[in-house]
Chain A
Amino acid sequence: MSGIADMLSAIGRSVCGGLTGIGEATRLMGRLVVLTPAALARFRLVADQIFFLGNYSLAIISVSGLFVGFVLGLQGYYTLQRYGSSEALGLLVALSLVRELGPVVTALLFAGRAGTALTAEIGLMKSGEQLAAMEMMAVDPVRRVLAPRFLGGLIAMPLLAAVFSAVGIIGGWLVGVALIGVDAGAFWSQMQSGVDVFKDVGNGVIKSLVFGLTVTFVALLQGYFCQPTPEGVARATTRTVVMSSLCVLGLDFVLTALMFSI
């Protein structure tokens, strides 16, 4: 009898815990939305975060973009030449990068490169009781610490995704045109006739904005509500990567279905 009661209470506890987590997340989101315009007034803090999140990610993003472009060029050529339409290589590379791979892979790398750093930083601030000390001095930690990071991530992510796509297209060009010998004119002209500025490039930018918001928010949330112990910070950092990757992939499906449905 007590076994069933224990089980029921365990279920209830986990459901309550989950709902509390969602509630906390919503409350933090609301405060961030309210406080983010205020962060614009002290843009130096935001600029420092753009430097921390964006500049440091630039190397990994551009190198990954280059190699993804190489692979797209090789694989795309292999498939397209079977149907005698290897001139469409540019279109294939550009569309897959701008629509999908650019925003998604950048978001996954951004979660690993910048999201973890955010979570660990804020988690350590919390375990070092710096956030509590700020509150004691009547400084709102959400306003002073979290909002600039949120805005910084929001600005850095679309720029990084654009760099990824651009470098990837150059990578595809290097493999397709310089290495394999696809006609350069056809490569660019097919790309230009098939890629729409607003429908493809614009929607890619919107996607990367949404992913930037998601990844940065998950990272801040995990850091802000982590257990203030070394294990707690470690767990929160792991959860940041897992949760933000899953959110990005799930959201990508929803966004793709909304934007590119025929």
Chain B
Amino acid sequence: MQKSRHDLWVGLFVVIGAAALLFLALKAGNLLSLSFEPVYRVSARFDNIGGLKARGAVKSAGVVVGRVTRISFDDKSFQATVEMELEQRFAFPKDSSVKILTAGLLGEQYLGIEPGASDKTLLAGDVITQTQSAVVLETLISQFLFNKAADASNAPAGKP
């Protein structure tokens, strides 16, 4: 095969381009955090999921143990059904509870698993019944304002 004087430089260019792609995938993207661990699926029902999104993290004691895979609405019970994949190597007691937490004050929302005390463990397809919905800021504020208003209207009536 004939040699071209450009071969070296073309090779260099391709290597630089490939290195840049690798940099984007590894350093900027989250290729390393993609796990190919075997998983099992469980689901949970919530009255309100707030801003939880699919692919959100599932954490226990702050460590990521799984991902949210699907969020759907159940029109029988009018609740949100959240399906999640937990890594096979982590087993949780059957009476574990799930709550929706927020990273920081305005950060993204994730699921937190609080382990229970049961001897049996969660299996694939189980439904977690003990859940705590997301804290919706608007509800909190309106409750606070309502209490204030109630206090204010009680105060004059309290001292005749």
Let me know if B145 is at the binding interface, CB within 8 A.
Answer: no
Q: Name A95's closest neighbour in chain B (CB-CB).
A: B28
Segment at the interface with B among A74-82, A185-193, A247-255 = A185-193
B6 close to A51 (CB less than 8 A): yes
Task: Report the interface size class on chain A.
Answer: 20 to 34
A201 close to B25 (CB less than 8 A): yes
- From A51, A160, A169, A197, B17 is in contact (CB under 8 Å) with A160
Question: Hey, which chain A residues are within 8 Å of B31, CB to CB?
Answer: 197
* Chain B nearest CB, measured from A190 CB (Å): 10
**Per-residue 0/1 for A196-224: is the Cβ within 8 Å of any B Cβ (1 yes, 0 no)?**
11001100110000000000000000000
Let me know if B29 is at the binding interface, CB within 8 A.
Answer: yes
Q: Name B12's closest neighbour in chain A (CB-CB).
A: A55
A195 close to B20 (CB less than 8 A): no
A197 close to B20 (CB less than 8 A): no
* Chain B nearest CB, measured from A81 CB (Å): 15
* Chain A nearest CB, measured from B45 CB (Å): 25
Q: Name A173's closest neighbour in chain B (CB-CB).
A: B27
A162 close to B21 (CB less than 8 A): yes
A196 close to B30 (CB less than 8 A): yes
A94 close to B28 (CB less than 8 A): yes
B2 close to A55 (CB less than 8 A): no
A195 close to B30 (CB less than 8 A): yes
Question: Hey, which chain B residues are within 8 Å of A28, CB to CB?
Answer: none
A159 close to B20 (CB less than 8 A): yes
Q: Is the interface of A mostly helix, strand, loop or mixed?
A: helix
Q: In the complex the two chains form, what is the Cα distance from A50 to B7 in whole Å?
A: 10
- From B10, B12, B29, A195 is in contact (CB under 8 Å) with B29
* Chain B nearest CB, measured from A76 CB (Å): 15
Let me know if A158 is at the binding interface, CB within 8 A.
Answer: yes
* Chain A nearest CB, measured from B56 CB (Å): 11
Let me know if B9 is at the binding interface, CB within 8 A.
Answer: yes
With A55-B13, A195-B30, A200-B29 already in contact, the answer to whether A44 and B24 are too (CB < 8 A) is no
Question: Hey, which chain B residues are within 8 Å of A47, CB to CB?
Answer: 4, 6-7, 10
Let me know if B33 is at the binding interface, CB within 8 A.
Answer: yes
Q: In the complex the two chains form, what is the Cα distance from A135 to B28 in whole Å?
A: 50
Q: Name B57's closest neighbour in chain A (CB-CB).
A: A193
B28 close to A201 (CB less than 8 A): yes
* Chain A nearest CB, measured from B108 CB (Å): 9
Question: Hey, which chain B residues are within 8 Å of A166, CB to CB?
Answer: 19-21, 23-24, 28
Q: Name A157's closest neighbour in chain B (CB-CB).
A: B17
Q: In the complex the two chains form, what is the Cα distance from A242 to B48 in whole Å?
A: 51
Question: Hey, which chain A residues are within 8 Å of B21, CB to CB?
Answer: 159, 162, 166, 201, 205
With A158-B17, A160-B17 already in contact, the answer to whether A165 and B30 are too (CB < 8 A) is no
With A55-B10, A165-B20 already in contact, the answer to whether A192 and B30 are too (CB < 8 A) is yes
Closest 7 interchain pairs by CB?
A159-B17, A166-B20, A197-B29, A162-B20, A51-B6, A162-B21, A163-B20
Q: Which residues of B contact A (CB under 8 A)?
A: 1-2, 4, 6-7, 9-10, 12-14, 16-21, 23-25, 27-31, 33-34, 106
6 contacts between A and B (CB under 8 A): A160-B17, A162-B20, A166-B19, A166-B23, A201-B25, A201-B29
Q: Which residues of A contact B (CB under 8 A)?
A: 44, 47-48, 50-51, 54-55, 58, 85, 94, 98, 156, 158-160, 162-163, 165-167, 169, 188, 191-193, 195-197, 200-201, 204-205
